[in-house]
């Protein structure tokens, strides 16, 4: 008698085991379970705004049946039931579980999506009621010793169940048709009438910014619960409509946003496993891929590395036989699982082209365009800084969602207007406006085409650099550094940014003096700029080695990775500057993470081979350095083991008075070969 699962909407949670398996309770325990379950359904509130009659009727039936079960438990004579009664009770338990699940899902989900599925949901309520009606019809009530009043209640419930009809409230159906008509208008590029929008949202109980924002979040969650593509596309259209309605009906707000796309501030408080970090950017990988050498990198970072002219693996130094990038799906699934456990948002590269993995529909795209042009026009004529801040905040949130929104915002001419909000005068009086403006530009820069728009807009780059150097808050400075990181993803822009002394100066100051989040933003940007040999020279002149030595205890992985890149490309000046880092690198070899130890070993090999005997002597003076190196050779990554083997050979040749420059590079010889050549 169980209802087929296909008539139920996709759930946000797994149904309880009891909803699909008959309970194996003793007689009275089964009645107690039915009483408890019926009381739980009775305690639920009717569904708000929609399906009110259906949900209220279901709750009332559960209340009446709860009285029947209470009567059975109060009667000591009814201690044993016939097989037919027990079978009915077991089937009733299953139906009640399904009713409870359906009610809870309808109450906790999106109201707009509930409205779009009003007919199948009404059918679900009706089918469950018919199931209950059938059970009550065949139930041998005469075998029970019930009072006359309770027996009349039982008959009343049975009658009401039998009279159930699969109808939809005309008001609900009319409301659904109104929403569909609005979506059709938007698809035809017709701006919806504001009064009609307000009427629909009022009927759904969406009467302010907060309720609209919560509804949008519910719809975004619903997308993840859908299996068929059409449902996902329909929800994407509803999200676009609600975003537009929220802006035009309720204005703009400045409620705190979650961390933006690249900054991911929530990650700064969490220790990200080393295997989940990209060896290039040192950030959590969103789209891990495997290169020809077998090493894994984040797709964006390794693409930038290859596009800048490199044909080697950044970790191993091997020449890549090909530049094909193979998705590491197993690792991506592990990262996604870890993010869910840590409650960290996980966005894949595909989210640049899709909203939560769904391509935009015509209606969603046109709704986005309408929202953007409304906001940009409002920003251009904002009468006050407070009003401008509220609109900029909305643009910031919208620019974070998907590539269509980023493209529309840039095409609507928002960048020159945002640039006016970057100045120090704005920052001193309205620091939040400066933060929102530079963050919006950061979010826009995620789209490749917008990088060019930003770089070519008069004053945009200089405005970002000014915020980096003189921003009113550390958050503004860190976001400016993140924006420069994003722009430097294009090779020509990286070289252009690396030539600007103000950029290097601003990054150095931020890395030295900023809080941990801002330091990390600065260091990751410095590392990206260090991919260009010409820029490395300017970084060395700007004091990059002194800077990373100063922060090596706070952010060891980022610091030693930069040091490795700089000493590799910076020439003798960089080697000389790195002399003071040797002891700290020795500490990293002993205590650092696998990634940090690998970079530390590689840095020491370069420094010792190019720096001469004096530098090798400084390394040899580090207490227990040979034992530390042996530990790295035994427990480090493959590349760390090779570098450590070369480093140990350098020390042995130095102690024997031989030339350390003749040591064969670790990429040529294996660890086993090197260790067998060492004296006992």
Which of 202, 235, 250 is a domain's end point? 250
pLDDT at 1: 35
Residues 39 and 149 in one domain: yes
pLDDT at 307: 76
- Per cent of the chain over pLDDT 70 is 86
pLDDT at 359: 61
531 belongs to a structural domain: no
Least confident piece of the model among 321-335, 352-366, 396-410, 487-501: 352-366
120-131 confidence digits (pLDDT tens): 999 999 999 999
Please say whether the beta carbons of 38 and 62 come within 8 A. Answer: yes
Cite the DSSP H helix spans in 75-203: 83-108, 111-116, 118-138, 148-162, 170-187, 194-203
> Using CA atoms, how far apart are residues 238 and 254, in angstroms rounded to an integer?
23
pLDDT at 257: 45
Highest mean pLDDT among 261-270, 406-415, 663-672: 406-415
- Per cent of the chain over pLDDT 90 is 36
Residues 36 and 132 in one domain: yes
**Residue among 434, 383, 385, 440 at smallest CA distance from 414:** 440
Spatial neighbors of 302 by CB under 8 A, at least 6 apart, are 280, 289, 291, 314, 325
- Average confidence (pLDDT) over 307-324: 80
> Using CA atoms, how far apart are residues 492 and 235, in angstroms rounded to an integer?
40
Spatial neighbors of 100 by CB under 8 A, at least 6 apart, are 37, 40, 41, 44
Burial (CB count <10 Å: 0-12, 13-18, 19+), residue 373:
middle
- Average confidence (pLDDT) over 226-251: 88
Residues 164 and 41 in one domain: yes
pLDDT at residue 258 greater than cutoff 70:
no
649 belongs to a structural domain: no
Average pLDDT, the chain: 83
pLDDT at 79: 55
pLDDT at 369: 92
151-183 confidence digits (pLDDT tens): 888 888 888 888 888 888 899 999 999 999 999
Domain of 313, CATH number, reads 3.30.40.10
User: Which pTM was predicted?
Assistant: 0.73
Residues 54 and 138 in one domain: yes
HEC letters along 256-277: CCCCCCCCCHHHHHCCCCHHHE
Residues 99 and 119 in one domain: yes
> Using CA atoms, how far apart are residues 420 and 173, in angstroms rounded to an integer?
48
pLDDT at residue 376 greater than cutoff 90:
yes
180-196 confidence digits (pLDDT tens): 999 999 998 898 999 99
Number of independent structural domains in the chain: 3
Residues 157 and 179 in one domain: no
Residues 202 and 295 in one domain: no
Q: Please name every residue paired with 321 in a beta bridge, in sequence order, or none if there are none.
A: none
Spatial neighbors of 160 by CB under 8 A, at least 6 apart, are 57, 61
Least confident piece of the model among 468-472, 530-534, 538-542, 544-548: 530-534
pLDDT at 482: 92
Residues 33 and 163 in one domain: yes
Q: Tell me the residue range of the domain where 193 lies.
A: 171-250
**Residue among 285, 260, 266, 218 at smallest CA distance from 400:** 260
Cite the DSSP H helix spans in 204-261: 209-225, 229-250
Residues 31 and 164 in one domain: yes
pLDDT at 460: 94
> Using CA atoms, how far apart are residues 509 and 497, in angstroms rounded to an integer?
16
pLDDT at 22: 52
Which of 168, 196, 229 is a domain's end point? 168
Please say whether the beta carbons of 603 and 575 come within 8 A. Answer: no
Which has the higher per-residue pLDDT, 337 or 637?
637
500 belongs to a structural domain: no
> How would residue 347 be classed by pLDDT, with cut points 50, 70 and 90?
low
> Using CA atoms, how far apart are residues 100 and 110, in angstroms rounded to an integer?
18
581-627 confidence digits (pLDDT tens): 888 999 999 988 888 899 999 999 998 888 888 888 888 888 899 99
pLDDT at 254: 59
Hey, is 20 helix, strand or coil? coil
**Residue among 534, 509, 502 at smallest CA distance from 523:** 509
Least confident piece of the model among 351-355, 465-469, 513-517: 351-355
Residues 141 and 36 in one domain: yes
155 belongs to a structural domain: yes
Residues 179 and 216 in one domain: yes
pLDDT at 48: 83
519 belongs to a structural domain: no
pLDDT at residue 52 greater than cutoff 80:
yes
Highest mean pLDDT among 135-144, 285-294, 322-331, 465-474: 465-474
> How would residue 251 be classed by pLDDT, with cut points 50, 70 and 90?
confident
**Residue among 344, 349, 305, 350 at smallest CA distance from 323:** 305
51 belongs to a structural domain: yes
- Average confidence (pLDDT) over 632-645: 90
Which of 168, 203, 235 is a domain's end point? 168
- Average confidence (pLDDT) over 241-257: 78
**Residue among 177, 175, 52 at smallest CA distance from 107:** 52
- Average confidence (pLDDT) over 452-480: 94
320 DSSP 8-state letter: P
Residues 104 and 200 in one domain: no
263-297 confidence digits (pLDDT tens): 444 444 567 787 888 888 777 888 899 988 888 99
Distances (CA, A) of 214 to 101, 243, 266, 595: 22, 11, 21, 40
**Residue among 216, 266, 210 at smallest CA distance from 401:** 216
Please say whether the beta carbons of 561 and 297 come within 8 A. Answer: no
Which has the higher per-residue pLDDT, 115 or 351?
115
596 belongs to a structural domain: no
100 belongs to a structural domain: yes
């Amino acid at each position: 008698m169980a209802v087929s699962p296909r008539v139920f909407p996709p759930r946000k949670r797994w149904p309880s085991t009891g909803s699909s398996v008959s309970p194996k309770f003793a007689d009275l325990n089964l009645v107690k379970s039915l009483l408890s379950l019926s009381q739980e359904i009775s305690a639920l509130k009717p569904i708000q705004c929609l399906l009110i009659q259906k949900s209220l009727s279901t709750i009332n039936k559960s209340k009446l049946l709860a009285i029947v079960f209470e009567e059975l438990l109060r009667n000591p004579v009814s201690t044993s039931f016939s097989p037919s009664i027990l079978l009915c009770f077991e089937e009733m338990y299953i139906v009640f579980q399904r009713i409870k699940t359906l009610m809870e899902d309808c109450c906790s989900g999106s109201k707009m999506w509930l409205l779009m599925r009003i007919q199948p949901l009404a059918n679900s309520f009706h089918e469950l009621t018919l199931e209950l009606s059938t059970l009550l019809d065949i139930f041998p009530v005469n075998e029970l010793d019930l009072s006359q009043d309770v027996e009349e209640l039982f008959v009343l419930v049975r009658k009401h169940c039998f009279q159930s009809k699969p109808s939809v409230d005309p008001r609900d159906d009319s409301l659904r048709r109104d929403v569909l008509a609005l979506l059709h208008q938007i698809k035809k590029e017709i701006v919806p009438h504001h009064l009609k929008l307000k009427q629909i949202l009022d009927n759904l109980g969406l009467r302010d910014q907060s309720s609209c924002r919560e509804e949008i979040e519910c719809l975004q969650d619903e997308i993840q619960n859908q299996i068929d593509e059409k449902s996902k596309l329909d929800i994407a259209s509803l999200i676009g409509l609600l975003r537009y309605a929220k802006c035009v009906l309720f204005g703009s707000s400045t409620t705190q946003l979650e961390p933006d796309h690249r900054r991911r501030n929530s990650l700064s408080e969490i220790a990200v496993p080393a295997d989940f970090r990209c060896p290039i950017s040192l950030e959590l990988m969103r789209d891990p891929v495997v290169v020809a050498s077998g090493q894994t990198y984040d797709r964006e970072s390794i693409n930038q590395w290859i596009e800048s002219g490199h044909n080697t693996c950044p970790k191993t130094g091997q020449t890549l036989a090909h530049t094909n990038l193979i998705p590491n799906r197993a690792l991506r699934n592990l990262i996604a699982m870890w993010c869910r456990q840590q409650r960290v948002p996980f966005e894949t590269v595909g989210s640049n082209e899709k909203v939560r993995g769904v391509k935009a529909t015509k209606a969603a795209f046109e709704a986005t365009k309408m929202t953007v042009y409304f906001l940009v026009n409002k920003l251009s004529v904002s009468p006050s800084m407070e009003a401008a801040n509220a609109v900029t905040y909305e643009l910031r949130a919208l620019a974070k969602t998907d590539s269509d929104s980023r493209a529309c915002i840039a095409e609507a001419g928002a960048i020159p207007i945002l640039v006016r909000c970057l100045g120090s005068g704005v920052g001193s009086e309205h620091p939040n406006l400066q933060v929102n403006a530079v963050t919006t530009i950061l979010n826009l820069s995620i789209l490749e085409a917008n990088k060019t728009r930003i770089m070519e807009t008069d004053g945009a780059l200089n405005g970002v650099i000014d915020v980096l150097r003189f921003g009113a808050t550390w958050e503004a400075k860190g976001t400016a550094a993140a924006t420069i990181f994003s722009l430097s993803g294009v090779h020509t822009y990286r070289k252009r940014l690396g030539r600007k002394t103000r950029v290097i100066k601003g990054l150095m100051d931020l890395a030295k003096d900023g809080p941990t989040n801002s330091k990390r933003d600065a260091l990751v940007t410095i590392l990206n700029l260090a991919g260009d040999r010409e820029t490395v020279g300017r970084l060395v002149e700007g004091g990059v080695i002194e800077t990373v030595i100063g922060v090596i205890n706070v952010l060891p992985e980022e610091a030693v990775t930069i040091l490795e890149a700089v000493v590799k490309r910076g020439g003798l000046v960089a080697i000389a500057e790195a002399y003071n880092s040797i002891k700290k690198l020795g500490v990293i070899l002993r205590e650092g993470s696998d990634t940090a130890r690998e970079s530390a070993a590689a840095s020491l090999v370069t420094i010792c081979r190019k720096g001469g005997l004096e530098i090798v002597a400084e390394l040899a003076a580090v207490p227990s350095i040979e034992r530390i190196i042996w530990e790295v050779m035994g427990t480090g990554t493959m590349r760390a083991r090779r570098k450590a083997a070369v480093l140990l050979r350098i020390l042995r040749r130095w102690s024997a008075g031989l030339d350390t420059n003749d040591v064969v590079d670790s990429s040529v010889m294996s660890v086993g070969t090197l260790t067998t050549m060492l004296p006992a």
